[in-house]
Amino acid sequence: MTDEQTSGALTPTRDAALSRPDFPVARVARRLGLDPEGAELALRDDERVRAALARSVEEFLAADDDRRAGRPPSSELALDPDFPTGVGMALVGAAVLWEARDLVPKVALRVAKDHYEDGADELAASYVALVQESVEPGERSDDDALAWAAQSLLVSVLQRSGDPARADEIARDLAAHAIPIDLWRDDDPTLPDDSLAWHGGAFVGGIPPRRDERRLSFEDVHDYMNTLMADMQREQAAEDDGRG
C-alpha cells in the first residue's frame, strides 16, 4: 500500500476513535479476524490492522460471490446476521478509519448494489459516490471499471427515484465512453477494450447528490462508524447483563 493510498487526516482521527471509552474494541477485532485478547494493542498496529482488513475484504467478497451465485455459505463471515450489507458497511467504515482507501471501491460497490436491490435509493447513491471518490481517474484499470460500474448503477437509481432526464444524460455519457449500461450487474466488472478511462464524474458535475444535496464523504463514514460503535456498545452491555 502506497503512502498516497494511506495519507490524509481523518475526522475524528483514528487515535481519537480508538481512545473513546465506548469504542467496541473486541467486536471490531473480531470483525477483522483478530484475537479479541490484546485487541487494544492490535488495533493500534496500523500495518497489522490493514493486513487483517485486506483479508476480511477478500473473505467478504468471496462470501458475497457465493451468495449471489446461490451457493451455500462456506465461511463464518457469511453466517453473520449482518451479512452482507451490514458487514460490508462495517468493512468500508474500517477501511476509512484505517485509511485503507484502496480497499473501499469493491466493497462499497457491493453495498451500493445491496441498497439498490433493497429499494434504498438514497443510500445506494451515497455509496456510489463513495466508490467514485475513492478512485483516482485513470490510475488503475480495475478501479476505473468499478467507478464506471457505479456510474451505470446510478442510472438505474435515478430512473427509479424520479430523475429520468439526469439518468438519460448519464446513460448517453456511458455510451459515449463505450461503457455497458448494465456493467454494475457484474460481480467483478471489467471494461470493454474500446472503453475510455474513468473521467471522475466531471460530466455530471459531481456524483451523486442526495435529496439534501450532500454526497457521502469519507468524513460521513465516520458518522456511520460512530453509530455502529454505539450499537455494538449497547449489544455488549445487553450481553453482559444477560450473563450477570
Are the C-beta atoms of residues 201 and 144 closer than 8 Å to each other? no
- Global confidence as pTM: 0.79
pLDDT score recorded for residue 14 = 83
Classify residue 220: in a domain, yes or no. Answer: no
Same domain assignment for residues 56 and 30: yes
Same domain for 153 and 138, yes or no, is yes
Residues 138 and 48 grouped into a single domain: no
Q: Domain containing 25: what range? A: 10-99+225-244
Claim to verify: residue 78 and residue 176 sit in the same structural domain: no
The DSSP output letter for 134 is T
Residue 156 in any domain: the answer is: yes
Q: Are 159 and 203 part of one and the same domain?
A: yes
Tell me, yes or no, whether 91 and 158 share the same domain: no
Residues 143 and 189 in one domain: yes
Same domain, 130 and 81: no
| Residue 1 included in any domain | no
* DSSP track, 21-60: TT--HHHHHHHTT--STTHHHHTT-HHHHHHHHHHHHHHH
**How many Cβ atoms are within 10 Å of 56's Cβ, its own excluded?**
22
35 & 119 share domain:
no
The per-residue pLDDT for 21 is 86
**Whether the Cβ atoms of residue 218 and residue 96 lie closer than 8 Å to each other:** yes
> Of 22, 18, 76, which is closest to residue 230 (Cα–Cα)?
22
Q: Does some domain include residue 3?
A: no
Residues 196, 128, single domain; the answer is yes
Counted domains in the chain: 2
* Tens digit of each residue's pLDDT, the chain (244 residues): 444 343 333 335 788 888 888 888 888 898 899 998 889 999 999 999 999 999 999 999 999 999 999 999 888 889 999 999 999 999 998 998 898 989 999 999 999 999 999 999 999 998 998 898 888 887 888 999 999 999 999 999 999 988 899 999 999 999 999 999 999 999 899 999 988 888 877 444 333 333 333 444 444 555 555 555 555 556 666 666 666 6
My answer on whether 205 and 162 are in the same domain is: yes
Choose among 47, 71, 219: nearest CA to 133: 219
Pair (142, 121) in one structural domain: yes
